[in-house]
Amino acid sequence: MKKFRKVLVGISIAAMLMGCGSASSDKATMAYESEQYADNGVYESAAAAEEEVYEDAQEYDSAQGSDLDSAEKVDESAQASSRKLIKTVTMDVQTEGFDVLKGAVEKQVNALGGYIENSNMYESGYSSSGACRRLDLTIRIPREKLDSFVGQIEQGSNVKSKQESVDDVTLTYVDLKSRKEAYEARKKRLMKFMDEATSMEEMLSIDKQLTEVLYQIESMEAQLRTYDNQVDYSTVYLNIEEVKRIEPAAEEGMWGQISSGFVGSLEDVLHGIRSFIIWFLSNLPHIVIWVLIIGGIVTVFCKISRKRKAKKQAKTEAAQKRKEQEKRELNQDTANSEEKDEAQNETSDQEKK
């Protein structure tokens, strides 16, 4: 610093001498010539001082550049740590101890400071793996404890599938926050205008604008809170499936696959028979009632059908009898007419004789 001050003093003296020499060049030429040597010495010292200043400036610039680089690196790391990332994990797991795993998950969620947002448990029947019940959970876990929670789930169950996704909403969040700050600044200006308003018309106009600004601020604050919640608490969609046996993950040979497939099919058949027997005996009263109802309906329908057939058959027989009677009568009339004709012919023949 002392060296730098000396250089500045030298430069200022040179500037003053140059100013004085130019101002008094018309009146003190001899004096200027006599002092030329001194001025040249000052100029040389000033030039040397300028070179030293230049070197010091270069050193300062290089140091400042390194400081800027380190500052940029720190800024980048700070930005990376302040990024708004929404993490989501979806897991399908199997377990033979359904109630044990369910209790362990609930206990672990509470221990990690998370919460269960949604829970849905239902009977799924029997599948090829003998599944009985299913539990679908939507869990919110603090983001810094997500990996620990997922690891414990993997250790306590058989993971069938797992998907992870990360949604970076940093730009959206920053843009929304900037817009909110702009609306807040506008709110302050409108409040100031409201205090300075002198007429009712101005107050109503400002109040209308202020209402719209407040609505936009509240809406943006709600969106920011939603983003903060989604960032701070990662979402885990956990689907737990109860099985009678856990399917092996390792690949088997041909005979091993045939054996396991045959055993699985046999177990499915046995489970199906067992389920049918349980269903049949459980619903036997309803089945008996429906059999009686359907049997009664069928019986009545059959009786009505038989009666209709009998009536139709009786009508058909009566019609046939009438036709036969008419035919007999017609034949009788024909025979009588023939007998009459023969009798008349005999009578006429006798008369001729």
Q: Which tens digit of pLDDT belongs to each residue from 199-215?
A: 899 899 999 999 999 99
> Would the pLDDT of 73 be above 50?
no
> Contact, 55 vs 202, CB < 8 A?
no
Distance of CA 258 to the CA centre of its chain: 39
Banded pLDDT at 53 (limits 50, 70, 90): very low
> Contact, 93 vs 238, CB < 8 A?
yes
Three-state DSSP class for residue 233: strand
Angle of helix 200-232 relative to helix 170-196, nearest 10 degrees, comes to 160
- How many CA atoms lie less than 13 Å away from 267 in the CB half-sphere? 15
Mean pLDDT of the chain: 77
Mean pLDDT of 148-164: 92
Banded pLDDT at 132 (limits 50, 70, 90): confident
> Would the pLDDT of 287 be above 70?
yes
Compare 141 and 24 and report the one with higher pLDDT. Answer: 141
And the tokens for 225?
A: 């809170």
Nearest to 1 by CA among 62, 52, 61: 52
> Contact, 207 vs 122, CB < 8 A?
no
pLDDT of residue 63: 43
120, β-bridge pairs:
136
Mean pLDDT of 67-90: 63
DSSP string, 271-327: HHHHHHHHHHHHTHHHHHHHHHHHHHHHHHHHHHHHHHHHHHHHHHHHHHHHHHHHH
> Would the pLDDT of 95 be above 50?
yes
pTM of this prediction exceeds 0.85: no
> Would the pLDDT of 163 be above 90?
yes
- Most confident segment among 236-240, 260-264, 312-316: 236-240
Q: How many helices (H) and strands (E) does the chain have?
A: 9, 5
Residue 223: Cβ within 10 Å count: 15
Q: What is the Cα–Cα distance from 95 to 99, expressed in whole angstroms?
A: 9
pLDDT tens readout for residues 326-336 = 888 787 777 77
